[in-house]
Structure 1
Amino acid sequence: MIALQDLHKSFGDKQVLAGVNLQVGQGESLCVIGQSGTGKSVLLKCILGLVQPDRGRITWNGRPLDRAAFMAGFGMLFQGAALFDSMSVWQNVAFRLRQRMSDAKARAIALDKLARVGLGAETADLMPAELSGGMAKRVGLARAIADDPSVIFFDEPTTGLDPIRARAINALIRDIVTQTGATAITITHDMDSVRAIGDRVALLQGGRIVHDGPVAGMSDAPELADFLGVGVAK
């Protein structure tokens, strides 16, 4: 569904992406891992059009990326949820919907999506400041799926959460991706998230993808030893 071919990006003298090649299929859940500062977020921003790559190609369904059509069909769970402080929970969830339908209809859809992430109607009129970290993540997830996107991006979905809430969010993301059939790309360094969410895992290192394989086979990949916390015989 999405393919990156020989993607390069530098900022001044610092080369961040040095020829990234990566594909993700329809309905597949791909996790991109890497140490801090290796360019995971830059890679995501290139796909979203927030950063223009220096060279390389991004295709969608085998064709050059139609930015307007792509942006209309994606959802995003931001790191830290990134809710609008001045809007209520339902207004955050329905942010995109309210641009093309009545508030009454948008609110009804928002309540449905909130229910899908385990939040009752009583949370709809709360403000973001009244939410716990786990609740804010759930609201962010509800917003990501509000418009039934074909592609969902997750940027460090469990950052700042304790292990119990992190496991709950991981399970929720896996269920939603499975139920909706959406293509998912997750940027993370949390291997528990990779195991829970991903079908495939790709390691970004030195500006390139140095490992790309099924999550089920991670333990056999020497490139992932540091992330898995295991020693690999040499």
Structure 2
Amino acid sequence: MIETRGLTRSFGAKRVLAGVDLAVAPGESLCVIGQSGTGKSVLLKCILGLVPPDGGQVLWQGQPLDAARLPQFLTRFGMLFQGGALFDSLNVWQNIAFRLRQRMPDREARAIALDKLARVGLTPETADLMPAELSGGMAKRVGLARAIADDPAVIFFDEPTTGLDPIRARAIDDLIRSIVTETGATAITITHDMRSVALIGDRVAMLQNGVIAHIGPVAGMDSEPALAAFLGRAPVAHS
């Protein structure tokens, strides 16, 4: 579904991406981990066309994701931003239906927004609240509802559990996993939370020194030396 080949990007003298090769299959949930400042968000922005790479390619469905194809790709993708990134001047349902309202009457867009609210475990009464009236966990759920409002084929999650307590973080992880499974969407999650990786991901990729230092199934990550070093612990031996 999505592939990067030899992706490079520098900011001044600092080389952030030094040749990233990554492929995500249709319906797969991939988690990207790495230390702060290793380029995880830059990688995501390069895929989205927000930051032009210095070299390499981004491919979508096997073809280069160039300027001509990017608008089509953007209509098929949703994103949960790290801080929620809700529009302060819009209420909850208007935030969720932001894209939908550009092509359908508000009555229809609101009905879809209410359906997505229910999907993320929020009541219809939440629809008319303003972002300032939401708790952190509620704001994250609203952001998730917005990410899936248009039934995207590709969803990006940028640090989905940052700032949440363990109970709310687990609830968001469970929601993400169930939504990805039910919709068949392709998902890329940037996270530093290994509990999230275990719950959300099918595979995990570690970005280090500008390249993918490890990629493999989540099920075997405890025994992988590269991941053990990243986590500061010895790999677990399996008989």
Task: Name the TM-score, length of structure 1 as normaliser.
Answer: 0.98
SS of the residue aligned with 1:86?
Answer: coil
The answer to whether the Cα contact below 8 Å between 2:197 and 2:218 also exists between their aligned partners in 1 is: yes
How far, CA to CA, are the matches of 2:78 and 2:48 in structure 1? 11
The residue type equivalent to 2:52 in the other structure is: Q
How far, CA to CA, are the matches of 2:190 and 2:158 in structure 1? 5
The residue type equivalent to 2:209 in the other structure is: G
Structure 1, unmatched stretches of 5+, are none
Q: Does 1:156 align with 2:169?
A: no
Counterpart of 2:94 in structure 1 is: 91
How far, CA to CA, are the matches of 2:231 and 2:186 in structure 1? 25
How far, CA to CA, are the matches of 1:35 and 1:162 in structure 2? 21
The residue type equivalent to 1:173 in the other structure is: I
- After superposition, the C-alpha distances for 1:5-60 in whole angstroms (9 at most, x for unaligned) are 00000000000000000000000000000000000000000000000000001111
How far, CA to CA, are the matches of 1:228 and 1:109 in structure 2? 41
The answer to whether the Cα contact below 8 Å between 2:30 and 2:204 also exists between their aligned partners in 1 is: yes
Q: Does 1:108 align with 2:111?
A: yes
Identity among equivalent pairs (%): 76
How far, CA to CA, are the matches of 1:102 and 1:80 in structure 2? 29
Counterpart of 1:35 in structure 2 is: 35
The answer to whether the Cα contact below 8 Å between 2:176 and 2:200 also exists between their aligned partners in 1 is: yes
How far, CA to CA, are the matches of 1:204 and 1:50 in structure 2? 19
How far, CA to CA, are the matches of 1:54 and 1:80 in structure 2? 28
The answer to whether the Cα contact below 8 Å between 1:191 and 1:227 also exists between their aligned partners in 2 is: no
The residue type equivalent to 1:60 in the other structure is: W
- How do 1:41-56 and structure 2 match up within 5 A? 41-56=41-56
The answer to whether the Cα contact below 8 Å between 2:3 and 2:58 also exists between their aligned partners in 1 is: yes
SS of the residue aligned with 2:45?
Answer: helix
Deviation at 1:220, TM superposition (A): 1.4
Choose from 158, 161, 186 the match for 1:183: 186
The answer to whether the Cα contact below 8 Å between 1:83 and 1:140 also exists between their aligned partners in 2 is: yes
Counterpart of 1:117 in structure 2 is: 120
Deviation at 1:80, TM superposition (A): 1.0
The residue type equivalent to 1:45 in the other structure is: K
RMSD: 1.0
- After superposition, the C-alpha distances for 1:165-206 in whole angstroms (9 at most, x for unaligned) are 000000000000000000000001110110000000000000
Choose from 193, 198, 203 the match for 1:195: 198
Deviation at 1:219, TM superposition (A): 1.0
Aligned residues: 233
Choose from 78, 95, 100 the match for 1:75: 78
How far, CA to CA, are the matches of 1:138 and 1:72 in structure 2? 21
How far, CA to CA, are the matches of 1:114 and 1:180 in structure 2? 16
The answer to whether the Cα contact below 8 Å between 1:9 and 1:53 also exists between their aligned partners in 2 is: yes
Structure 2, unmatched stretches of 5+, are none
